[in-house]
Amino acid sequence: MIQTGIIFGFVLGFLLRQSQFNFAHELRPGLTSQQSAGWLNILVIILIASLVLWGLVSVNVVTLPDNPDYSPSAVICGSLIFGCGMQLSAGCMIDCLVDLGALDGNALLTLVTFILTLVFYNRGLFSKSLDALTGNNLVSDTWLQATHYAFPVSLLVLLVITGAGLTWYFKTRSVSRSAYWFLAVAVGIGLLAGLAFLANSLAGGFGSFAVVNPLLTWYGFIKGRGAGISVSWGMYFTASIIVGSLLSSLCQRQFRWRAVSLITLIRALGGGLLMGLGAGLSKGTFTSNGLVYTAMLSVQGWLALIFIVVGFMLTDRLARLINSKLAARL
């Protein structure tokens, strides 16, 4: 059943490319855009995935494991760094895979830099100097398993907040048709993320959208020419995102040919470096921490999501300030 990763990756890549949905673009406007509900779309994805997961757990199809212990300081610092990198590269790693399917050379640079940074991080090049953050203040994240009604009650709170936010947004904004379209896409992504828990369970594992470990395994697979490595659900998933995006680009006849300038090179390499460092420190990416762990109602996931957004918005504000000052001088 690990081959179901091909289906999920292909559908996600095709959907994101076809709809032009980009997670970084959803973070940038916050709640101010008339074209998209921004942050609320992220909450919709998490809510739908969490509802599906709760349903699967309720009928004993999926068993919810204990969340691993985590370091709050490492998650906060790593997520801030990851958010900075996400702004520089104009996307998270799934966005990068989608852009790679559209033959974007900058996405390839970001992807390679991200993987190599994680490889060297795991070898101790960066982590040795960050041991104080990653290992000295671990706390438990098992509150969800401690109370029988914790999951449904927390889910109800998330439902109320998301519903109230969407009601406020559509009543107070003169929104365009694209806002409804991106909301529908967010629902679709949430369904895919939720059903991915089922697919992983049937494949003998647990999880949903996965990026870090599959990419590192692909690195080892390619480096060792496949010796001793079995292709996993996540490996099928990440590779198929590229294929789905490529097919969508072929159907639309739209590719992201971009000349590599000094600025785009710095953004691609800097974004990959910072996201790799942030992922190593916080033990996850925007996808795993910000979408999957949040759907599991993990404290680590929500803490990571909040500070990824903070890091992204601070970097975006700084970039806008620098651009405005440079424009004023010209």
pLDDT of residue 265: 86
Q: What is the pLDDT of residues 1-46, one digit of tens each?
A: 778 889 999 999 999 999 989 998 888 776 667 777 788 999 999 9
Name every residue whose Cβ is closer than 8 Å to that of residue 28 and which is 6 or more positions away in sequence. Answer: 38, 312, 316
Least confident of 39-48, 104-113, 145-154: 145-154
Token readout for 209 is 């959208």
Q: Please count the other Cβ atoms lying within 10 Å of the Cβ belonging to residue 326.
A: 9
Instruction: Give the pLDDT score at 184.
Output: 93
- Amino acid (1-letter code) at residue 278: G
Q: 256-314 pLDDT, tens per residue?
A: 666 667 888 888 999 999 999 999 888 889 998 888 888 888 888 999 999 999 999 99
Residue 272 in contact with residue 81, Cβ under 8 Å?
no
Q: At 206, is the pLDDT very low, low, confident or very high (cuts 50, 70, 90)?
A: confident
pLDDT value of position 103: 86
Residue identified by tokens 């990959």 is: 272
pTM: 0.91
Q: What mean pLDDT comes out for the span 213-231?
A: 80
Mean pLDDT of the chain: 86
Q: Which amino acid is at 299?
A: V
pLDDT value at 152 more than 90 = no
Q: Residue 144 class from Cβ within 10 Å (0-12 exposed, 13-18 middle, 19+ buried)?
A: middle
- The confidence score (pLDDT) of residue 176 equals 80
Alpha helical stretches, state H, the chain: 4-19, 23-27, 39-58, 72-88, 93-101, 105-122, 131-134, 143-146, 150-172, 177-202, 212-223, 233-252, 262-282, 294-295, 299-329
Evaluate whether 49 touches 199 at the Cβ level (below 8 Å).
no
